[in-house]
Amino acid sequence: MTRTAIVTGGTRGIGLAIAKQLSEDGFSVVIVGTREKEAYAEQLKWFDENERDYLYVTGDISNKEDRIHIVKMSVSHYGKINLLVNNAGVAPKVRADLLTMSEESFDYVLGINLRGNMFLTQLVANQMTQQEEKGIIINVSSCSAEVSSVNRGEYCVSKAGVSMLTKLYADRLSSEGILVYEVRPGVILTDMTSTVQSKYEKMIEDGVFPIRRWGVPEDVALAVSAFAGGKFPYTTGNYIDVDGGFHI
Ligand code: NAD
């Protein structure tokens, strides 16, 4: 039977790699992006060319109506949701010291990374509990959930919050047959890291990441795929680091 997965932020970077991997794994994929479908023609070409079953939905996860729209569209199209991958996330627009960080930046980052994630999960969890086939929820958090960076504190707080959401939803939903996991990327080569590339080049060179290479989106997608495959029925609320062995 076909399984349906929602991947937020599935139009580029880690999210696109996850959407492709899940498609390879046999999922029908609901790809959520912030702009109209035409804007992502190039990225979605792979799905069309390979005749993959997917649905594109426009939605901003920080917006309540959009969250409802994402879930409604998924259910009306596929009748059920087997997997939610909360991948969408942002870094602060400007890095600022903790002593000068603005409330606007805090609200912007938390509104997407934490609040959006929290309430989209709530909607999907309520859908999954009503289904015969239960499901799996996977949060893409970050090593920043534990490692502090004082010039992007709002990001660290948001990802630490996501880790707590993983535990909370795991506790709440295990009795409903729904499992919740988390993947924690370290430094992955995407648009998000493009502005700080030289800093990380040096860290890779110095062996801070013992597997001395950039992480790539496909590395994260493989970890998501492992959890999504349902191979860990007696495990919930846990995470996999995808960080080249970066442990401090
Ligand atoms: P990216 O900037 O390339 O992609 C982020 C995606 O999220 C984009 O598709 C974007 O459109 C989407 N998005 C942003 N705001 C949204 C919103 N309000 N509603 C819906 N979608 C929204 O970044 P990435 O590197 O691919 O990051 C993906 C996830 O991995 C993020 O949660 C990020 O925090 C996390 N992460 C990335 C790294 C890294 O090194 N790249 C490290 C740790 C964690």
**Model confidence over 221-236: pLDDT tens digits?**
999 999 999 999 999 9
pTM greater than the 0.90 cutoff: yes
Nearest partner of 115 among 64, 183, 179, judged by Cα: 64
Q: How far is the CA of 128 from the centre of ligand 1 (A)?
A: 25
Which residue bears the tokens 């929820």? 137
Active site residues: 155
The answer to the question of residue 55 being in a domain is yes
Give the model's pLDDT for residue 224. Answer: 98
Distance (Å) from CA 175 to ligand 1 centroid: 31
- High-pLDDT (> 70) share of the chain, %: 100
- Residue 160 scores a pLDDT above 90: yes
CA 224/CA 130 separation, integer angstroms: 24
In a domain, 244, yes or no: no
When pLDDT is cut at 50, 70 and 90, the band that residue 247 belongs to is confident
Q: Is 247 within a domain?
A: no
Instruction: List pLDDT tens digits, range 75-115.
Output: 999 999 999 999 999 999 999 999 999 999 999 999 999 99
Query: What is the model's pLDDT at position 218?
Result: 98
Q: How far apart are alpha carbons 91 and 153 in whole angstroms?
A: 10
- 155 φ/ψ angles, rounded to the nearest 5 degrees: -65, -45
Q: Distance between CA atoms of 157 and 179, rounded to whole angstroms?
A: 24
Is residue 72 included in any domain, yes or no? Answer: yes
pLDDT at 187 over 90: yes
Query: Is the residue at 116 inside a domain?
Result: yes
Please identify, by atom number, the ligand 1 atom nearest to the C-alpha of residue 88: 7
Q: Is residue 101 in some structural domain?
A: yes
**Euclidean distance between CA atoms 135 and 11, whole angstroms:** 23
CATH number (domain holding residue 83): 3.40.50.720
Residue nearest atom 27 of ligand 1, based on CA coordinates: 14
Whether 248 has a pLDDT exceeding 70, the answer reads no
Structure tokens at 105: 């930046």
How many domains does the chain fold into?
1
Ligand 1 atom at minimum distance from 144 CA: 43
The protein residue with its alpha carbon nearest to ligand 1, atom 11, reads 9
**CA of residue 140 to ligand 1 center, whole Å:** 9
Task: Please check whether residue 245 lies inside any domain of the structure.
Answer: no
d(CA 86, CA 97): 27
Distances (CA, A) of 47 to 7, 19, 30: 14, 9, 11
Q: Ligand 1, from 14, 108, 121, 143: best to mutate by most atoms within 8 Å of Cβ?
A: 14
- Percent pLDDT > 90 in the chain is 93
Average pLDDT over the chain reads: 96
Q: What is the DSSP letter of 114?
A: I
**Range of weakest confidence among 17-26, 46-55, 109-118, 186-195:** 186-195
> Taking CB atoms and a 6 Å cutoff, what residues make up the pocket around ligand 1?
8-9, 11-15, 32-34, 60-62, 87-90, 112, 116, 140, 142, 185, 187-188, 190-193
Tell whether 246 is covered by a domain. no
**Domain span at 189:** 3-239
Contacts of 93 (CB under 8 A, 6+ apart): 105, 108
